[in-house]
Amino acid sequence: MAKMTDRAARHVAAISPVQQMLASGTGALLTSIMVTPLDVVKIRLQAQQTPFHKASDSTAWGRVLRPSKWKCFLYCNGLMDHVYVCQNGTHCSSWYKAPTHFSGTLDAFVKITRYEGLRSLWSGLPPTLVMAVPATVIYFTCYDQLRDFLRFRLGFQGSHIPLVAGALARLGAVSVISPLELVRTKMQSQQLSYSQLRVCIRSAVAQDGVLSLWRGWGPTVLRDVPFSALYWFNYELVKAELCERYGTPQANFSISFTSGAISGAIAAILTLPFDVVKTRRQIQLGEMDSLGVSLKKTSSTWHIMKEIQTNLGYRGLFAGFMPRVIKVAPACAVMISTYEFGKAFFQKVNLDQTRLAT
């Protein structure tokens, strides 16, 4: 086991941060392409339940009594999620108001492909890539760098290292991306130019302080940081166990894929209550921002959790159990196996260059 760990360490050490970023970026791209159709179908099924003419701002903000011009959907590709703001009269409302009725997931796949074309299954891909790729690059690169720093620079050993490195890497990625997500949502919902956006951000900071740029950061951290810690802890354990069982010093594609799926499923199940709260909070913030309603009156994470428990019981905190596991497990599997494959590819390139140089 020790020999395997040393070899794995040399494997990671042979990869530069830039190469790690390229490998993680490729993984994020492939994962987004593969999982986006599942999210598009989910959103289309949600959309037919609440068309624009039935949606009312009063349902969310009691004092506004007019048909809603806005509708916020939450895209989640298993790597991260973002609010997509749909305004009545824009291009997204053409499918939102479409008369096509879907009886289920498979029916939605067939009808969207038949009547709207195959490309419609990737209609949410561009905004997904804008946020998912940089967030994933920061996250995976920071994890590898932090893990190696803790092990080889500070001399810490033990199975808790991936847990600590995963939590810190996710915390850093969320903190960097959170203001960018707020900016992207504002640009999309209010159709602002860059100069107008600058003025809008300055006025928001002047009115609510610099921390207003990290609105919604708390619920995201409460879900993503424990998820990341659990994911990497279990991934490294399962990967080491499988490598030992099959007598291989380094994880191959199938071992990485299996380890990623198992650890992703475990982390998704254990953090599901925080995911339910975070989803509700994120849509709430997106719709309030779209309507120009003050963000000071939004409910806290614990208040939302208590409200769900009161209205729906403890089962409400575990709503969407199967959809989340079905999406997150394969997304984690594709992402980590692609990332590990990319690192192995760059290691081989580096070794070949070293041999040629000597």
In Å, what is the CA distance from 165 to each residue of 111, 142, 169, 217, 333?
44, 8, 6, 20, 19
Best CA proximity match to 54, nearest among 24, 97, 84: 97
At 159 the pLDDT is 86
At 27 the pLDDT is 92
At 5 the pLDDT is 45
pLDDT string in tens for the chain (358-residue length): 444 444 444 444 478 889 999 999 999 999 888 887 877 777 677 666 554 444 444 333 333 334 444 455 665 655 656 566 665 545 454 444 455 677 777 888 888 888 888 888 887 677 677 778 888 999 999 999 999 999 988 888 888 999 999 999 999 998 888 787 766 666 555 555 666 667 767 776 777 777 777 877 877 788 889 999 999 999 999 999 999 999 988 899 999 999 999 999 999 888 888 877 777 776 666 656 555 555 555 566 677 778 877 887 777 777 767 777 888 898 999 999 999 999 999 998 888 888 888 7
- At 354, list the tokens: 């070293």
Rounded Cα–Cα distance for residues 112 and 122 (Å): 11
At 61 the pLDDT is 31
At 26 the pLDDT is 93
**C-beta separation of 135 from 80 below 8 A:** yes
At 67 the pLDDT is 42
At 154 the pLDDT is 87
At 66 the pLDDT is 40
Q: Structure pTM?
A: 0.76
For residue 166, the number of C-alpha atoms closer than 13 Å in the C-beta half-sphere is 21
Taking residue 220's Cβ as centre, other Cβ atoms within 10 Å add up to 23
Residue positions counted in the chain:
358
Residues whose CB falls within 8 Å of the CB of residue 111, separated by 6 or more in sequence, listed in order: 100, 102
In Å, what is the CA distance from 28 to each residue of 78, 140, 330?
10, 10, 13
**Which residue intervals of 14-78 are DSSP H helices?**
17-47
**C-beta separation of 347 from 339 below 8 A:** no
At 13 the pLDDT is 45
Best CA proximity match to 67, nearest among 89, 48, 52, 78: 52
Distance of CA 10 to the CA centre of its chain: 30
In Å, what is the CA distance from 94 to each residue of 36, 47, 100, 119?
19, 12, 11, 15
At 3 the pLDDT is 43
In Å, what is the CA distance from 81 to each residue of 28, 51, 69, 275?
13, 23, 23, 11
At 196 the pLDDT is 65
- At 137, list the tokens: 């690059």
At 223 the pLDDT is 81
Amino acid letter for position 10: R
Rounded Cα–Cα distance for residues 202 and 43 (Å): 33
Rounded Cα–Cα distance for residues 348 and 14 (Å): 9
